[in-house]
């Protein structure tokens, strides 16, 4: 049985990074929700939706043949990715600080970009009361 990509969108680097990001978000949301139940419900729900939207728009856009339709879906995917960044910003400036470590992703020798990062935990930035 062939274990390689079945669909064309699975061959895209951005699609693979989006899959890693969804796993990253799932771990983060689990920790945020357990650390402060209900406190960040709206931003957590929005981050969950936006991360999935980015992935789905990338896949659907890659399946479009007409340039304008294709570009619209890729633009929507980019918009959802920016929305994810805003959600992470909202979480990080509230009562939690994200602790990040690099995502694992294979790169070629010519790629010198900074590695994407994933959360490994949360630290409260609220000082304990004495």
CATH number of 23's domain: 1.20.1440.60
* In a domain? residue 19: yes
* pLDDT confidence of residue 36: 72
109 falls within a domain: no
Domain that holds residue 48: 8-103+114-124
Closest CA to 90 of 28, 30, 40: 40
Q: What is the DSSP letter of 11?
A: G
pLDDT score, position 41: 85
Which segments of the chain have a pLDDT < 50? 1, 109, 112, 119-122, 124-130
Residue 1 lies in a domain: no
What angle do the packed helices 13-35 and 67-92 form, to 10 degrees?
30
When divided into structural domains, the chain yields a total of 1
Angstrom distance (rounded) from CA 61 to CA 98: 32
**Residue 18: its pLDDT value, please?**
95
Per-residue confidence (pLDDT) for residue 130, from 0 to 100: 47
- pLDDT at res. 113: 53
Q: Could you tell me if residue 49 is inside a domain? A: yes
- Other CB atoms within 10 A of residue 80 CB: 21
Q: How many residues are given for the chain? A: 130
Nearest-angstrom CA–CA distance, 12 and 31: 29
In a domain, 70, yes or no: yes
The pLDDT assigned to 56 comes to 97
**Domain assignment present for 37:** yes
Residue 120 confidence (pLDDT): 47
Residue 28, judged by CB atoms within 10 A of its CB (0-12, 13-18, 19+), counts as buried
* pLDDT attached to residue 46: 95
Q: How many CB atoms lie within 10 A of CB 91?
A: 21
Instruction: Give the CA-trace dihedral at 32, 34, 38, 44, to 10 degrees.
Output: 30
- Is residue 72 situated within a structural domain? yes
């Amino acid at each position: 049985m062939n274990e390689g990509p079945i669909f064309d969108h699975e061959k895209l680097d951005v699609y693979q990074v989006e899959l890693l990001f969804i796993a990253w978000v799932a771990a983060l949301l689990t920790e945020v929700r357990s650390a402060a139940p209900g406190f960040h419900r709206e931003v957590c729900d929005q981050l969950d939706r936006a991360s999935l939207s980015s992935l789905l728009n990338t896949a659907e856009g890659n399946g479009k043949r007409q340039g304008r339709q294709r570009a619209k879906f890729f633009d929507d995917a980019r918009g959802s990715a920016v929305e994810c960044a805003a959600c992470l910003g909202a979480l990080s400036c509230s009562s939690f600080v994200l602790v990040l470590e690099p995502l694992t992703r294979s790169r070629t020798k010519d790629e010198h970009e900074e590695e994407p990062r994933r959360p490994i935990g949360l630290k409260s930035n609220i000082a304990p009361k004495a």
